[in-house]
Structure 1
Amino acid sequence: MLTGLKLNTIGKTIKHLRGFIKDRVKSDAIYLSHQEIATIYQTDLSDHPHLIEYRDLFVLACLTGLRFSDFSTLKPEDLQRDMLYKKQEKSDHWVIIPLREEAKHIFTRQFKERIPALTNPEFNRHIKTIGKLAALNRSIKFSYKKGNKSIEVIKPKYDWITSHTARRSFCTNEFLAGTPVELIMKISGHKRTKDFYKYIRISPEEAANKIKELWIKRDGMRLVQEGGGVVLISNTNNQ
């Protein structure tokens, strides 16, 4: 069966990931896995009711990839046919975002009538508190250069969470799930593949595992000429 993939599609992805592993020394942000996002969403906030709308808005952002400037200004009319139509403030470009059932539920239940007036610092402060309540306590170490010195900072994961974590989480989780990069970029608004690969946040181990998956896909296929170009055909195809 034809995959429709060009010869260099998988090769380019592997090249980007190899570069990621080689050059990944400094990290300036984290991402949350789907499980961690679910943990946050399911955290009992009955003793902290003022945090519920912050939590729900953060989860909505994790499931849509919107920046703070965009998810904090959503309006009821942005939802059309189970998709969000949003003009990005930073790039001035329109994006169309399909909604998972959870995201649609949050938007229609919690925020269909009103997005609370928020400031980014206020939002970040509350999201850290929510992450702490969700017990996202694993120590995360980031290192960076300052002059000739190598500086290391170790904090619990919840203390690294910001509004932008939601956007990075969306892009990274979709990438790890195998969603084509070009499709993720249509939603995130990234214009260059190079910028996208700098943006996602995965560990070198995750990048290595992704390369293994791509090798399996690549090695399980063979190349044929088709329509003036080269495409990949599964080796299990008897044609």
Structure 2
Amino acid sequence: MPESDAPRTIESVENALGVLDELEARETVGVSELAEALDRSKGTVHTHLATLAKHGYVVNDDGRYRLSLRYLGLAEAAKSHVGSYDAVTRELDDLAATHGERAQFAVEEGGKAVYVYRATGSDAVNPSADIGRYEHLHSIGLGKAILSVLPEARVDAIVAEHGLPERTAETVTSREALAEELDRVRERGYAVDDEERVHGIRCVAMPLVTGESEPVGAMSVSGPASRMTDDRIQSEILPDLRQAVNVVEVNAELG
């Protein structure tokens, strides 16, 4: 989007959101630390913190600030926009327990994939839950699964807005290569992240589609490349992932 066509924004709101982003990355933080991280004056940062605290978005613990538990309520409200969320979490929990790996669910928002739920099995690597984190769609299995069921014009718009940045040497970085990859995903019904976002990690993902052919999101199982072999994906993981997706889609239609 040309700069002249970009929507106007409010600088004070931008600054407040910067404060919240920094608080999200830390357990607690003082005014001076936060001012330095944001390259803002202590007075400006303190004013933002005081305003956010007044409205219940942050908590002041003896001069150390943290996010408030109000975000739990906001998160629950956001989940209500995800159809069959309970079915999704049940199926992902079962996938993680059965295969010992990470099982994840993401939706598309603003042209990126946002992680909504993650279940970790007994052998899962990096089990931290990056819920709410946004990723470029083209560089993860979940994202490619979602792109495969979006209209071509929407895919073009997403690429035009966000580009195709390289995460590893395996990442698809051209529109032509992405089109070929999405054709493969449509043909076989699933996407594979072959160390395209993180070296050493492979992922297999399938889109969730409602009866109106609208993508709800995507579900995946991921793990170390040494364990996520083609044979294991085909014989063990894909049958269970297909069943999980089918259960969620049926629940969505019945709901």
Q: TM-score band (shorter)?
A: under 0.3
Per chain length, whose mean CA-contact separation is higher, i.e. which structure has more relative contact order (CA < 8 Å, sep 6+)? 1
